[in-house]
Structure 1
Amino acid sequence: MGIVLKQSFINTIILFLGFGVGGINVLFLYTHFLHADYFGLITFLLSAANILLPLLVFGMQNTIIKYYSSYKTKFERDNFLATTLVIPLFIIIPLALIGTLIYENIANWISEENPIIKNYTYLIFITAIFMGYFEVFYAWTKVHLKSVFGNFIKELFPRICTSFLLVAVYLKWLTNEQFIYSVVVVYGLSTLIMMLYAFYVYKPTLKFVLPNNIKEIMSFSFYIIVAGSAAGILLEIDKFMIPQMEKIAQVAYYSVGIYIASVIAIPTRAMQQITSPITAKDMNDDNYVEVEKMYQQTSINLLIVGGLFFLLINLNINDMYELINKPEYTKGVWVVLIISLSKLVELALGTGNAILVNSVYYKIFFYLSIAMAVTVIFLNKWLIALIGIDGAALATLIVMVVYSVIKIFYIKSKFKIQPFSIQTIKISIVLSVVFIIFYFWNFPFHPIINMGIKGILISGVYIFLINQFKISKELNELFLKLLKKQKNH
């Protein structure tokens, strides 16, 4: 777990910095410098691009993770990497031609409820290409266990650039319209930087010779592309569907709530950068002892760290929105709690998704992802009409709970491993007790002071209980090391 902990720690810091910069953007700069309609527009465009992304690159980012370690010679690896760069072009070029022919119909359909979208529809396709190839080159570096720089370019670079762009809008150096185009350029620049770094990490001899197992690769990619698209739908369809049923400004209110709740997912995003390729290698080597060990360790440790974020966010949410000082955005308060719960469920799954994707049973991931996507679309249509943006969040929670349970039982039936133990019950009790204790505690000071006081109290009680009940061996050892260092100093 040495390299996992080291890179996960660095990636977590990068993600925190990224979320910090993004938080400034979403909670303050976007809300105060950009018109709500354009905030909703850029959110919609990026979400739609994320949905399209897996299709355009034919799932090659996942294919690299799964198969790269199975090739033993440089010649085989070079052929494989060259193939992953070329295959997406057989999707992108025909779709670009078809899209050009029927562009007007697509643009009219997407912008039916909100005409502002129409002139920017083509940016979805361009951004998806940038995002797709970024993920391919990022996967290229991850299989060499070099995830940190790519994580920086993915999480921090676009957000820092966006901060400057939003300030430029405020200073009237850019119009709202020019800001939209500038963000797309930033994603293109990110991809270029990632490509150069990927070739720096490993420079193959690019000769397009098909790998011997090309049929197996194409079969896997086909299933993963659909599964990836379905997963993208699960994550982004709410922000795509809200403008079809509500005013586009509602997407802005929803996005703020989603962003705040997404902080809880920082630990799993950081750890997945390195655990996914390691899980793939262990699966290729039939090393199921290590697979189970990582499955259980990631589940409990992610729940502990994510649980602290859950408490800090939801027990300070009113002060957070008071700090934003935009009353219309408080419509997302319940979105924060509901999505936070769905993120906790996701954390509890640990490396479950990586196990499914990198096993011989990867097709079940395809079927489950399709079922999840279809279910969330129907639930969104019903619940958004019923209770607005809270309905979109509730749809996500329902789908996440149901299908996470199914995945856990499926992995248990096939591999005889599962992520839970008595420690899972302990952490659930600790989370519930701390939440109930502090839920009704409010201070009459400035929101920042309130959050500071409450945050220190919550963190102190939570960490004490985690340590006292010995819920995580790894985290307990970390606490002991930190205490020893403090005593030595």
Structure 2
Amino acid sequence: MGIVIKQSISNTVITYVGFAIGAANTLFMYPHILGKDFYGLTGYVLSAANVIMPLMAFGVHNTLVKFFSGYRSEQEKDRFLTYLLLLPLLVAVPLLILSLVFYEPVAALLSKKNPIIFDYCWQIPLIGLFMAYFEIFYAWVKVHLKSVFGSFAREILLRLLITAGLFTVFFKWISAGTFVNLTVLIYGVITIVMGISAFKVRQFKADLRFPENRKAVFNYSIYIILSGSIANMLLDLDKFMMGFYIHIDNIAFYNVAIFIATVISVPSRAMHQIAYPITAKLMAEDKYIELNELYKKTSISLQLVGGLVFVGILVNIKQVYLLLPAEYGQGMFTVFVIGLSKYLDLILGNNNAIIFNSKYYRAVLLLGLLLAALMIGLNMFLIPKMGIDGAALATLASIALYSLSKLLFVVFKMKLYPFSKQTLYSFAILTATFCMFYYWDFPFHPIPNIALKSILVTVFFIGINYWLRISPDVNSVIDKGFALLRRK
């Protein structure tokens, strides 16, 4: 777990810095500079692009992680990488051509409820393609256990470029509509930067003599397209479907709530960057005892760190919304609901990595398709009736069922168990912390109120978890921090 903890800490720090920049963008700059309609439009375009991203990527970003360690010679690796760089073009090129030929009828359908969408639909496949190749290059560096720069590019560089773009709107150098177009260039830039980084980590010679197991690689990629599509649908389909049923400014309100809740997932995202290739390696070597140990450690560590973020958000949420225009307050319920869904997914540890690298991934993908269909149905029913609250409830139900199904599959089929009595202890501590701190606030301005309350919550929550030794890995990190301070 040493390299997992080391790079997870680096990735976590980078991701939280990125989220701090994102918080400034999401909570202040987007609402006040871009306005609710163009903010909603930006969220709609990016969500739609993210939904089609797995199709554009052809599942290659996960395929690369699964198969790369199986190639021994440099020549075999070159053939494999060449093959993977070309595979996405099988879908991307026809899709781009179709989007040009049938632009008007498709754009008219997507913009029926919100006409503002019509002139910006062309961005969706382009941004989806850039997202796809970014993830491929990111996977390229992850298999070499060099995930930190990729985290920087996605979490910090991307948001800094968005900040710069928002400032150009603020100074009236460009219009809000031009900024939405500028997002295509921004995603193109970070993809190029990530590609350059990937080729520096491992240079390769293009070799069109594709790998001998290309059929297995192709078949696995097809299934991963389905799995990635399901995962991304669970993340972004709700915002995409809102464009059909309610006014686009609701997407702006929903975006703010989702951003706040998504902070809970940061520790998971950071750890998975390095835990995923290690999981793949352990499974390839049939080291299931070590894998079960990794499973438990990632679960309890993520539950502790993610639980701190979750309870910190909940006890401060009323003060956070005092910093926003009053109309954004209707998203507060969404924060609670989506936050719970993120927490449920978080405590599964490296569950996804285990499934996608096992022989059972096909069956779970079929189950995922059923749950994706359920999510579509729930959104169609709940969004017209309840607006963004309905979308949040549909997402919670879908993610909870999907997470439960994946957990049961790993437990019963692979005899791997993520939970222990520490899981219950940590949840009890989280509940007690929420009850103690939610119902009162300092009589200050929201910012110092949030800061002081966060310090108290952190000291109490981490102190109790440390004293009870809920996560040995987290305790080890804290002990090293104390030792470093003593040496200084």
Coarse TM-score class (shorter-chain normalised) = over 0.9
**How do 1:58-73 residues align onto structure 2 when only pairs under 5 Å count?**
58-73=58-73
Match of 1:94 in 2: 94
Match of 2:185 in 1: 185
Match of 1:169 in 2: 169
Match of 1:459 in 2: 458
Match of 1:280 in 2: 280
**How do 1:427-442 residues align onto structure 2 when only pairs under 5 Å count?**
427-442=426-441
CA distance in structure 2 between the partners assigned to 1:21 and 1:372 by the alignment: 34
**Which amino acid in 2 is paired with 1:78?**
D
Q: Measure how far apart 1:443 and its partner are.
A: 1.8
**Number of aligned positions between the proteins:** 488
CA distance in structure 1 between the partners assigned to 2:267 and 2:125 by the alignment: 30
The answer to whether residue 252 in structure 2 is matched with residue 252 in structure 1 is: yes
Match of 2:470 in 1: 471
Match of 1:318 in 2: 318
Q: Measure how far apart 1:248 and its partner are.
A: 0.1
Q: Measure how far apart 1:481 and its partner are.
A: 3.0
Residues 436, 71 of structure 1: CA spacing in aligned structure 2 closer, same or farther, 3 A cutoff? same
Q: Measure how far apart 1:477 and its partner are.
A: 2.5
Match of 1:423 in 2: 422
Residues 24-61 of structure 1 deviation map (CA, whole Å, 9 limit, x = unaligned): 00000001001211100111101101111111121100
The answer to whether residue 219 in structure 2 is matched with residue 219 in structure 1 is: yes
Match of 1:10 in 2: 10
The answer to whether residue 327 in structure 2 is matched with residue 308 in structure 1 is: no
8 Å CA contact retained: 1:234, 1:372: no
CA distance in structure 2 between the partners assigned to 1:67 and 1:409 by the alignment: 26
8 Å CA contact retained: 1:357, 1:365: no
TM-score by length of 1: 0.98
CA distance in structure 1 between the partners assigned to 2:478 and 2:140 by the alignment: 35
Q: Measure how far apart 1:488 and its partner are.
A: 4.2
TM-score by length of 2: 0.98
Match of 1:196 in 2: 196
8 Å CA contact retained: 2:15, 2:156: yes
Residues 174-211 of structure 1 deviation map (CA, whole Å, 9 limit, x = unaligned): 10111011111010011111111111111111011121
Q: Secondary structure at the match of 1:315?
A: helix
Provide the alpha-carbon RMSD of the alignment: 1.1
Q: Secondary structure at the match of 2:69?
A: helix
**Greater shift after overlay, 381-390 or 416-425?**
381-390
Q: Secondary structure at the match of 1:156?
A: helix
Match of 2:120 in 1: 120
Percent sequence identity is 43
Q: Measure how far apart 1:98 and its partner are.
A: 2.3
Match of 2:150 in 1: 150
Q: Structure 1, unaligned stretches of length 5 or more?
A: none
8 Å CA contact retained: 1:15, 1:155: yes
Q: Structure 2, unaligned stretches of length 5 or more?
A: none
8 Å CA contact retained: 2:95, 2:125: no
Q: Measure how far apart 1:468 and its partner are.
A: 2.0
8 Å CA contact retained: 1:356, 1:364: no
Residues 249-297 of structure 1 deviation map (CA, whole Å, 9 limit, x = unaligned): 0000000000001110000000011111111111111111121111110
Q: Measure how far apart 1:475 and its partner are.
A: 1.7
**How do 1:129-140 residues align onto structure 2 when only pairs under 5 Å count?**
129-140=129-140
**Greater shift after overlay, 72-81 or 364-373?**
364-373
Q: Secondary structure at the match of 1:112?
A: coil
Match of 1:111 in 2: 111
Residues 183, 212 of structure 1: CA spacing in aligned structure 2 closer, same or farther, 3 A cutoff? same
Q: Measure how far apart 1:372 and its partner are.
A: 2.3
Residues 133-170 of structure 1 deviation map (CA, whole Å, 9 limit, x = unaligned): 11111111111111111111111111101111111101
Residues 201, 483 of structure 1: CA spacing in aligned structure 2 closer, same or farther, 3 A cutoff? closer
8 Å CA contact retained: 1:130, 1:191: yes
Match of 2:78 in 1: 78
Match of 1:263 in 2: 263
Match of 1:375 in 2: 374
CA distance in structure 1 between the partners assigned to 2:65 and 2:245 by the alignment: 38
Residues 407-441 of structure 1 deviation map (CA, whole Å, 9 limit, x = unaligned): 11111112111100000000111011111111211
**How do 1:311-460 residues align onto structure 2 when only pairs under 5 Å count?**
311-324=311-324, 326-460=325-459
CA distance in structure 2 between the partners assigned to 1:481 and 1:218 by the alignment: 45
CA distance in structure 1 between the partners assigned to 2:222 and 2:353 by the alignment: 17
CA distance in structure 2 between the partners assigned to 1:197 and 1:399 by the alignment: 36
Residues 135, 484 of structure 1: CA spacing in aligned structure 2 closer, same or farther, 3 A cutoff? closer
CA distance in structure 2 between the partners assigned to 1:68 and 1:405 by the alignment: 30
8 Å CA contact retained: 2:253, 2:330: yes
CA distance in structure 2 between the partners assigned to 1:473 and 1:88 by the alignment: 42
**Greater shift after overlay, 124-133 or 285-294?**
285-294
8 Å CA contact retained: 1:43, 1:239: yes
Q: Measure how far apart 1:476 and its partner are.
A: 2.0
CA distance in structure 2 between the partners assigned to 1:24 and 1:180 by the alignment: 18
Match of 1:239 in 2: 239
Q: Measure how far apart 1:486 and its partner are.
A: 3.5
Residues 290-318 of structure 1 deviation map (CA, whole Å, 9 limit, x = unaligned): 21111110100001001111111110011
CA distance in structure 2 between the partners assigned to 1:97 and 1:162 by the alignment: 28
Q: Measure how far apart 1:10 and its partner are.
A: 0.6
Q: Measure how far apart 1:470 and its partner are.
A: 1.6
Q: Secondary structure at the match of 1:442?
A: coil
CA distance in structure 2 between the partners assigned to 1:456 and 1:101 by the alignment: 56
CA distance in structure 2 between the partners assigned to 1:91 and 1:242 by the alignment: 26
